[in-house]
């Protein structure tokens, strides 16, 4: 009977070892799959869309994702036309019109210009309440992996200009999605295989 219980104990322990190995392999596979999902080939060079409908900007918000942090500009375009933008890394951010420097925290600064004024061009009424040099209203990036700071710079000659402080000069992409201009900044420099 003792032999039988020893044999059974040995089988149970061996099975536990196989299960632990399987669980470890599964965790490693999950990590590898997550890394593969985060592979980006966006680059860090300037991104530009010259198309524009000059509709007013109504809101700016931020979000965190598994592979990147996201900044979204709401620009209602009832006619469906594209919205222009220019997004580029700069050494310092200077306010349009005055040329005054706007301090932005972080290891690198993305200057984001969206061809949408922060006011209604017909009435002059403010549509997005930005204040020069102040953080973006309602956008709290504390705890984000990539974003460090946001600063409103200006709304001048049909463009809204902001400074986005990021951890380092990282790859980013910009695209229009319906009534939104989206800026995604990756958490790292993974490349497409």
Residues 84, 29, single domain; the answer is: no
Measure the CA–CA gap between 92 and 110, rounded to whole angstroms. Answer: 9
Question: Residue 11 domain-assigned?
Answer: yes
Residues facing 151 on adjacent strands: 163
Over pLDDT 70: what percentage of the chain? Answer: 77
The pLDDT, as a whole number, for residue 57 is: 93
Q: What residues have CB less than 8 Å from 182, skipping those under 6 apart?
A: 70, 71, 72, 73, 174, 175, 176
Residues 68, 160, single domain; the answer is: yes
Residues 113, 147, single domain; the answer is: yes
Residues 56, 25, single domain; the answer is: no
The pLDDT, as a whole number, for residue 6 is: 54
The pLDDT, as a whole number, for residue 132 is: 95
Distances from the Cα of 181 to the Cα of 11, 81, 96, 184, angstroms = 60, 12, 20, 10
- Collapsing DSSP to helix, strand or coil, 89 comes out as strand
Residues 98, 180, single domain; the answer is: yes
Residues 85, 16, single domain; the answer is: no
Q: Mean pLDDT across the stretch 79-86?
A: 83
Q: What is the pLDDT of residues 115-126, one digit of tens each?
A: 999 999 889 899
Residues 25, 104, single domain; the answer is: no
Q: Tally the domains of the chain.
A: 2
Residues 70, 5, single domain; the answer is: no
Question: Residue 80 domain-assigned?
Answer: yes
Question: Residue 79 domain-assigned?
Answer: yes
Checking if the pLDDT of 190 tops 50, the result is yes
Q: How confident is the model at residue 167 (pLDDT cuts 50, 70, 90)?
A: very high
Residues 29, 115, single domain; the answer is: no
Measure the CA–CA gap between 53 and 78, rounded to whole angstroms. Answer: 10
SS3 content of the chain, % helix, strand, coil (to 5): 20, 35, 50
Distances from the Cα of 116 to the Cα of 1, 14, 86, angstroms = 83, 66, 12
The pLDDT, as a whole number, for residue 5 is: 54
Residues 31, 61, single domain; the answer is: no
Range of the domain at 18: 1-37
Output the domain CATH number for residue 155. Answer: 2.60.40.3500
User: Does this model's pTM top 0.75?
Assistant: yes
| Count of residues making up the chain | 193
Measure the CA–CA gap between 105 and 126, rounded to whole angstroms. Answer: 26
Q: Mean pLDDT across the stretch 144-157?
A: 96
For 156-179, b/e burial (b = at least 16 CB within 10 A) is eeebbbbbbbbbeebbbbbebeee
Question: Residue 30 domain-assigned?
Answer: yes
Question: Residue 192 domain-assigned?
Answer: no
Residues 32, 56, single domain; the answer is: no
Checking if the pLDDT of 160 tops 70, the result is yes
Checking if the pLDDT of 52 tops 80, the result is no
Query: Of the given ranges (22-26, 40-44, 134-138), which has the lowest mean pLDDT?
Result: 22-26
């Amino acid at each position: 009977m003792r032999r039988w219980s020893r044999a059974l104990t040995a089988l149970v322990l061996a099975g536990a070892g196989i299960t632990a190995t399987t669980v470890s392999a599964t965790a490693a596979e999950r990590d590898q799959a997550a890394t593969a999902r985060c592979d980006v080939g966006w680059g860090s060079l300037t991104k530009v869309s010259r198309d524009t409908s000059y509709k007013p900007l109504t809101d700016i918000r931020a979000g965190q994702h598994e592979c990147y942090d996201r900044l979204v500009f709401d620009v209602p375009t009832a006619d469906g036309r594209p919205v222009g933008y220019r997004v580029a890394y700069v050494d310092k951010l200077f306010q349009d019109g005055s040329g005054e420097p706007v301090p932005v925290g972080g290891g690198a600064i993305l200057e984001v210009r969206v061809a949408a004024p922060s006011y209604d061009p017909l009435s002059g009424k403010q549509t997005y309440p930005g204040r020069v040099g102040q953080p973006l209203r309602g956008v709290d990036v504390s705890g984000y992996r990539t974003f460090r700071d946001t600063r409103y710079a200006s709304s001048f000659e049909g463009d809204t200009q902001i400074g986005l402080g990021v951890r380092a000069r990282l790859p980013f992409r910009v695209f229009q999605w319906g009534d939104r201009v989206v800026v995604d900044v990756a958490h790292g420099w993974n490349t497409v295989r």
